[in-house]
Structure 1
Amino acid sequence: MTEHSTDQPDFHDRLGHAIKRAEQALIAEKSRALRTVDLTVPQYVALLVLQQSSGMSGAQLARECMVTPQTMTTILTNLENKGLISRETSSLHQKVLVTRLTRSGRALARKADTLARGVEQRLADALSTAEQAQLRSLLERSAEALRRTD
């Protein structure tokens, strides 16, 4: 039999659990919205990054999108098969492929971003401007605290 300590908060009251619930709700809603344009959230993020910085390698994209290089390879293969990106050998490194959006990739990135921003706006609408700033600040402080090693 497991003993329950009253000194410890219930699992559902822990900060990590609250952050995870919020993240899952956000991703689920973005997934639902992006499904209408046949994209996953990771594919959308890759298109968005490429819209900002064309000509990145798969490794650079993986870092920017916070996924493993193996996952990025799958994402890029799927985007290339859909005709949304093109990949060519880098002029600096013959073993490196650089990725660029195609015309249809740029158009879909804009459309998908409108959908994703709509989801984010629903979140923003639930908070005052001051609360939004406070939430950003608290999340940044949280991330910094977790990156620190003593």
Structure 2
Amino acid sequence: MSEGRPRLNTEMVRLGGLIKQAEQALITAKTIALKQFDLTVPQYAALFVLGTTPEASAAQLARACLVTPQTMATVITNLEAKGLVDRSTSPMHRRLRETRLTDTAIPVLEGADRAAVQIEEALAVEFSPEELRSLQELLNRTITALHQLG
């Protein structure tokens, strides 16, 4: 070991790693559940947001789904190819394109949402009501603390 490098404390709990592992496990479970609907997790997220915020722009969708604008452009292109979304020019601003669900998307979204909710419910039953409230509070505190650091 070189003299100038600090030593890592290997006994310290690496919260970032645990949070990432939990996130990846959740994404994996949802990916498996959404396959029957031929959707990826980002595609499901975009449809879900469009179900509550019709006529959203790609930028709005990217922010709401926590992905880059480039990723959202790909997601929208793929959803459009599947006939699940339509895009049109906004009547308010010619450079803005609005995205909306098609009639075909509604039953797909409803089924996919049921599958996603089942994953979250299966996770929630692993905790007592008190533990679940505590976990939610701790995760909210984590999010707040990390936003303050950034």
**Normalised by the size of structure 1, how large is the TM-score?**
0.92
Whole-Å separation in 1 of the counterparts to 2:70 and 2:17: 28
Whole-Å separation in 2 of the counterparts to 1:115 and 1:42: 15
> 1:128 matched to which residue of 2?
128
1:78 aligns with 2:83: no
> 2:91 matched to which residue of 1?
91
Whole-Å separation in 1 of the counterparts to 2:114 and 2:28: 16
- Paired AA for residue 135 in structure 2: L
Distance 1:42 1:81, change over 3 A: same
> For residues 39-98 of structure 1, what are the alpha-carbon distances to aligned partners after superposition, in whole Å with 9 as ceiling and x for unaligned?
000000000000011011001111111111111000000000000011111010001110
Structure 2: state its 5+ residue gaps.
Answer: none
1:37 aligns with 2:37: yes
Equivalent residues in 2 for 1:46-65, closer than 5 Å: 46-65=46-65
Q: Sequence identity of aligned pairs in percent? A: 47
Whole-Å separation in 2 of the counterparts to 1:4 and 1:10: 15
- SS for the counterpart of 2:39 is coil
- SS for the counterpart of 2:95 is coil
Give the drift of 1:124: 0.4
- Paired AA for residue 60 in structure 1: Q
Q: What is the Cα-based RMSD across aligned positions, in Å?
A: 1.9
Whole-Å separation in 2 of the counterparts to 1:121 and 1:10: 33
- Paired AA for residue 45 in structure 2: V
> 2:9 matched to which residue of 1?
8
- SS for the counterpart of 2:143 is helix
**Normalised by the size of structure 2, how large is the TM-score?**
0.92
Q: Alignment length, in residue pairs? A: 148
Whole-Å separation in 2 of the counterparts to 1:15 and 1:32: 26
Give the drift of 1:114: 0.4
Structure 1: state its 5+ residue gaps.
Answer: none
Runs of 4+ more than 4 Å apart: 1-5
Whole-Å separation in 2 of the counterparts to 1:136 and 1:85: 33
Give the drift of 1:149: 3.8
Whole-Å separation in 2 of the counterparts to 1:10 and 1:81: 50
- Paired AA for residue 90 in structure 2: S
